[in-house]
Structure 1
């Protein structure tokens, strides 16, 4: 993997500038836990798997051909790239300001630096200073978003359009066979022209996979920050049920790994064909879902 600098917390795979209109982001697949975390943990290190989009980076890398792809190495527990840098939790962050209207995620302990992990409770043995959190923002959060912004701008400059596919995974929704296995998020039509989301949705459904849009995941900070359909930069969040590609314990690759890789590949191909075939979509009305 090629990194933007030797000490970067993420890798950029593929060419820059991109040679296609689709750029892939994988912000929650990191498993490189900093040694500095160990003395801060109230829970076993293994408990933090619950915050990972477990092995989604392996799916993404296996599906990649020549697309430009950003893959975060630092774990979500260290800092969450899918949160605004102001979503700081005052319970654990001495430099945080109490927001007038905290988000649901922040109230539940899943802010910029997560406070809790499902099934285990509080993560940290102590609170963090303002300087500690700012250091993580400076070292990890801002460089990733700056690189993603640059890649999308370069793709748009070359093709007149750029599409960001922000790849995530989710716990199973309900009992097997009862819930959607894929959720597409476009912030209710605000981060991507509906024609691109519809095309992916139709393709996934035609392959016999249950898919829904914006429920229960409408897309997070990554697509909200980088999607700008009126400038022909479109951003779609793709959530995959972990049982599609992991084993029964949801920890290691399962029997469906190759099929899930193929599904992601078709999603990228579908978006690429739509972008190159349709060209700029700035004249199209945005969906009002």
Structure 2
């Protein structure tokens, strides 16, 4: 199993999908307990949800499950949210704080390093390559990182999560126009709730690649899974009805970002050079 799959397009928008993969190598699978084998913390069907919404959008999807290694965590395992409950680079608990490994089978530091080399690094090498490719075409690239999570997880947050959770690390990872356009669409989505930089401000991917001054903009969308799943429990089936209501709003967001890209300043490498006198 390759660590990732890439669907290339000519749009300035790149869809990152780090958590929809469900592949777990057999040696790791054998170490998981029954809780771990549920793979409950998958971003279920997110790639399907976004597919074909924006013609020409590139998609970079991790095939491996986040229990193998989390593609949206700092490879140095620095916490994204200090002081708050979260999961690590190679999680040993699920989002409810329950152990996912059999006793004594948690990965060692050497195993974590091996997983980082085999899975995490190749995914990010592919994502970085697509960002550079798209930027070479347009002078800019917009990375839209696609996520979803259960609506209610007391271990991670209080109450029910809003439907749309937009993250830009407090406005640092993208141009203001990108943040504003996305928020405008989420607030206008009738029947849905939304928040900007709430519990989820953008993970490592968004914070690592989002460098507006270089022409690379990044924004994270964390969707409550009640917006597109038939149930937020086993078997986590996709709901055509719920997804059908949600997808037009996501389509408008992506089309807005592609349009905004036409008017954003290009990176110095792509900007037209003045002719010599």
- What are the equivalent positions in structure 2 for 1:267-286 lying under 5 Å apart? 267-276=253-262, 278-280=263-265
1:70, distance to aligned residue in structure 2 (A): 0.5
Contact 1:64/1:265, CA 8 A, preserved across alignment: yes
Q: Which residue of 1 aligns with 2:50?
A: 60
The alignment's TM-score, normalised by the length of structure 2, stands at 0.84
Tell me the equivalent position of 2:114. Answer: 135
Change (3 A) 1:265 1:156: same
Structure 1 residues 204-243: aligned runs within 5 Å: 204-208=186-190, 209-243=192-226
Q: Hey, what does 1:14 align to over in structure 2?
A: 8
1:69 maps onto 2:64 in alignment: no
Quote how far apart the aligned CAs of 1:119 are: 4.1
User: What secondary structure sits across from 1:215 in the alignment?
Assistant: coil
Shift of 1:161: 1.3
Cα distance in structure 1, aligned partners of 2:225 and 2:110: 36
Over 3 Å counting, the alpha-carbon distance change for 1:172 and 1:109 in structure 2 is closer
Alpha-carbon distance in structure 1 between the residues aligned to 2:36 and 2:160: 32
Q: Structure 1 residue 198 and structure 2 residue 180: aligned?
A: yes
Q: Specify the alignment match of 1:96 in structure 2.
A: none
The answer to whether the Cα contact below 8 Å between 1:165 and 1:236 also exists between their aligned partners in 2 is yes
CA deviation vs aligned residue, 1:106-144 (integer Å, no higher than 9, x gap): 974611001101447111122323332222111111111
Q: How does 1:1-289 map to 2 (within 5 A)?
A: 7-15=1-9, 19-49=10-40, 51-87=41-77, 104=81, 108=85, 110-119=87-96, 121-125=98-102, 126-172=105-151, 180-208=162-190, 209-250=192-233, 251-254=236-239, 255-276=241-262, 278-280=263-265
Alpha-carbon distance between aligned partners in 1 of 2:172 and 2:13, rounded to the nearest angstrom:
18
Three-state SS of the structure 2 residue aligned to 1:253 is: coil
TM-superposed CA distance for 1:200, in Å, is 1.3
Q: Distance in 2 between matches of 1:226 and 1:186?
A: 11
Contact 1:229 1:281 in 2 (8 A): no
Kindly tell me: are residues 8 and 173 of structure 1, through their superposed partners in 2, closer, same or farther at Cα, counting changes over 3 Å?
A: same
Give the secondary structure class of the aligned counterpart of 1:168: strand
Structure 1: gaps (5+ residues): 1-6, 88-98, 284-289
For 1:91, the equivalent position in structure 2 comes to none
RMSD: 2.5
The Cα shift of 1:257 comes to 1.4
Q: CA deviation at 1:178?
A: 7.1
1:117 counterpart SS class: coil
Secondary structure at the counterpart of residue 39 of structure 2: helix
2:273 maps to: none
SS in 2 for 1:265: helix
Is the Cα contact below 8 Å between 1:197 and 1:236 reproduced in 2? Answer: yes
TM-score, normalised to structure 1, is 0.81
| Alignment: residue pair count | 257
Equivalent residues of 1:13, 1:70 under 8 A apart: yes
